[in-house]
């Protein structure tokens, strides 16, 4: 049995290098299943935190927008899409008023 595997051409290892002796380069390292699971869980937790913060900021911005829009009655809370549509129409109506004045 030969000690060297024949090269298939275009590979990254030199023709005389044994297959089991390939070295990894850069940050890629062999990781255990437990470590991979921990990394994936950590990334998911961080992604969830980022999404939660993004939604908190979006909701705060929409609340601030609702506070400057005239609504009838005052205790009515507009949905997100209603808030955006109302704001668009309100800005359009104000700009038309200015254009005609």
pLDDT tens for the chain, residues 1 to 101: 555 555 555 555 566 656 666 665 666 667 899 999 999 999 999 999 999 999 999 999 999 999 999 987 777 889 999 999 999 999 999 999 999 98
- Using CA atoms, how far residue 100 sits from 32, 51, 86, 89, 96, in Å, is 70, 43, 21, 16, 6
Helix H segments across 1-101? 33-68, 80-100
Half-sphere exposure of 86 (CA within 13 A, CB side): 16
According to the model, what pLDDT value does residue 26 have? 61
Predicted TM-score (pTM) of the model is: 0.62
According to the model, what pLDDT value does residue 28 have? 61
Quote the CA–CA distance of 87 and 64 in Å, as a whole number.
12
pLDDT digits (tens, 9 = 90+) for 44-73: 999 999 999 999 999 999 999 999 999 877
Which residues contact residue 24 at a Cβ distance below 8 angstroms, ignoring those fewer than 6 apart?
Answer: 30
Domains plus CATH for the chain?
A: 22-100 (4.10.280.10)
According to the model, what pLDDT value does residue 76 have? 82
């Amino acid at each position: 049995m030969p000690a060297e595997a024949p090269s298939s051409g275009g590979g990254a290892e030199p023709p005389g290098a044994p297959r089991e002796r390939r070295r990894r380069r850069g940050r890629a390292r062999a990781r255990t299943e437990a470590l991979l699971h921990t990394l994936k869980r950590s990334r998911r937790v961080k992604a969830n935190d980022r999404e939660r913060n993004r939604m908190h900021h979006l909701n705060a911005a929409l609340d601030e927008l609702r506070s400057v829009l005239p609504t009838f009655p005052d205790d009515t809370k507009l949905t997100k899409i209603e808030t955006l549509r109302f704001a668009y129409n309100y800005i359009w109506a104000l700009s038309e008023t200015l254009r005609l004045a």
